[in-house]
Amino acid sequence: MKILVTRQIPERFIDELKEAAEVVMHDDTLQPMPRDKFIEESRDAGVVITMMSDKVDREYLDACENLKAVINLAVGFDNIDVRYANENNITVCNTPDVLTETTAELAFTLMLVTARRIVEAAELVQKGEWQGWEPYMMAGKDVAGKSVGIFGMGSIGTAFARRCKAFGMDIMYNTRSRHEDAERELGARHVDFSELLQSDYVVCTAPLTEETKEIFNKDAFNRMKGDAIFINIGRGGHVVEEDLLAAVQAGEIAAAGLDVLRQEPIQDDHPFLDEKRIVVLPHIGSATVETRDAMIQLCVDNAKQIMKGEEPKTPVKVK
Ligand code: GLV
Ligand code: GLV
């Protein structure tokens, strides 16, 4: 059985995989595997290590008769039809836990950066436009002591909330089920979506599902406070981008910090690129060397266990 890896990863991981099977790697650090090549190379693969940019849908799964497992190099798996895979006895794995602190740290960074207008301020200096001190030059908004509404209180949301607690923030969250541990440990309050929208910082850390798709729309932004800041590190699909842009431009909210977009990478003519109050990062939530090493190692461990006919470490379970 062959193992297909759809993006370039360091040689040492490939060597480890080679102990278990023949390995084919798409030798490109920048471009995803073209769809037809992805399907073609998967036909005789037993295990495929995929990226978020690979669409594992019915068409793909129907084409790959030998496939035993799809191992996604991400915690999110909205690129995969997990239910259909499982119906066809194909295991899906993701990379939870190893990226939790790193991703929470990025969310917190994005909150500080937008609150204190860091990108704008650094640009002003770089462009030679720093004329001297003025009382309100680049004046932002405090984070300490403010309220934060966390949408999606999984492990990343909870790790983010811990950082908020250290800043003395009033923590609210909204999820389908209560997280009593977070309530006890962090004093977080479970609130409905409307109340969540009243926070100074509204932060989306949720995985994308049919229920949460486009939940941050015109109506949601309308209900936020005029000086609210919206942060999204979940998935771009949670947000109606036109509505977010309109809300920022109309001053219905103050700013936004986004690590994820509906379409990635961003298109050259995307209107967010001209809006100083919207900071866009290139989906780097888990991008530290330590964490990417750990994510890839977890994929390799899962692949080896599957090749041995054992239960993998981190299978995805659909509810
Ligand atoms: C990144 O977005 C991930 O899901 O790991
Ligand atoms: C997100 O909230 C996660 O931990 O998956």
Tell me, yes or no, whether 317 lies in a domain: no
What's the pLDDT at 28?
83
Tell me, yes or no, whether 293 lies in a domain: yes
Ligand 1: centre distance to CA 193 (Å) = 24
Q: What percent helix, strand, coil does the chain show, rounded to 5?
A: 35, 15, 45
Ligand 1: centre distance to CA 162 (Å) = 20
210 given a catalytic annotation: no
235 given a catalytic annotation: yes
Are residues 141 and 50 both part of a single domain?
Answer: no
Ligand 2: centre distance to CA 258 (Å) = 16
Pocket test residue of 50, 52, 209 for ligand 1, highest count of atoms within 8 A of CB:
52
Tell me, yes or no, whether 312 lies in a domain: no
> DSSP alpha helices (H): ranges in the chain?
11-18, 35-42, 58-63, 82-87, 100-115, 118-126, 155-166, 180-186, 193-196, 218-223, 241-249, 289-307
H or E stretch at 70: strand 69-72
100 Cβ closer than 6 Å to some ligand 1 atom: no
Tell me, yes or no, whether 316 lies in a domain: no
Number of domains in the chain: 2
Active-site residue, from 235, 238, 277, 292:
235
What's the pLDDT at 27?
87
157 Cβ closer than 6 Å to some ligand 1 atom: no
Active-site residue, from 19, 87, 185, 264:
264
Are residues 186 and 295 both part of a single domain?
Answer: no
Are residues 148 and 270 both part of a single domain?
Answer: yes
Q: Are 85 and 62 in contact (CB under 8 A)?
A: no
What's the pLDDT at 230?
99
Separation in Å, CA 49 to CA 44, 67, 307: 14, 11, 13
Are residues 162 and 220 both part of a single domain?
Answer: yes
Q: Vertex 85, ends 84 and 87: CA angle to 5°?
A: 65
Are residues 78 and 107 both part of a single domain?
Answer: no
Pocket test residue of 286, 292, 296 for ligand 1, highest count of atoms within 8 A of CB:
286
Are residues 247 and 176 both part of a single domain?
Answer: yes
Q: Which ligand is nearest to the Cα of residue 104, counting in written order?
A: 2
Q: Is 46 helix (H, G, I), strand (E, B) or coil?
A: strand
Active-site residue, from 7, 179, 283, 292:
283
Domain encompassing residue 124? 100-280
Write out the chain's pLDDT in tens, 319 residues. Answer: 899 999 999 999 999 999 999 999 998 888 899 999 999 999 999 999 999 999 999 999 999 999 999 999 999 999 999 999 999 999 999 999 999 999 999 999 999 999 999 999 999 999 999 999 999 999 999 999 999 999 999 999 999 999 999 999 999 999 988 999 999 999 999 999 999 999 999 999 999 999 999 999 999 999 999 999 999 999 999 999 999 999 999 999 999 999 999 999 999 999 999 999 999 999 999 999 999 999 999 999 999 999 999 999 999 988 6
Are residues 118 and 266 both part of a single domain?
Answer: yes
Are residues 267 and 119 both part of a single domain?
Answer: yes
Pocket test residue of 99, 281, 295, 299 for ligand 1, highest count of atoms within 8 A of CB:
99
What's the pLDDT at 317?
83
Specify the ligand 1 atom closest to the Cα of 76: 4
Are residues 84 and 110 both part of a single domain?
Answer: no
22 given a catalytic annotation: no
- Measured N-to-C along each axis, helices 11-18 and 289-307 cross at an angle, to the nearest 10 degrees, of 10
User: What is the CATH number for 301?
Assistant: 3.40.50.720
Are residues 230 and 112 both part of a single domain?
Answer: yes
Are residues 144 and 163 both part of a single domain?
Answer: yes
Are residues 128 and 206 both part of a single domain?
Answer: yes
pTM for the model:
0.95
Q: Which ligand is nearest to the Cα of residue 283, counting in written order?
A: 1
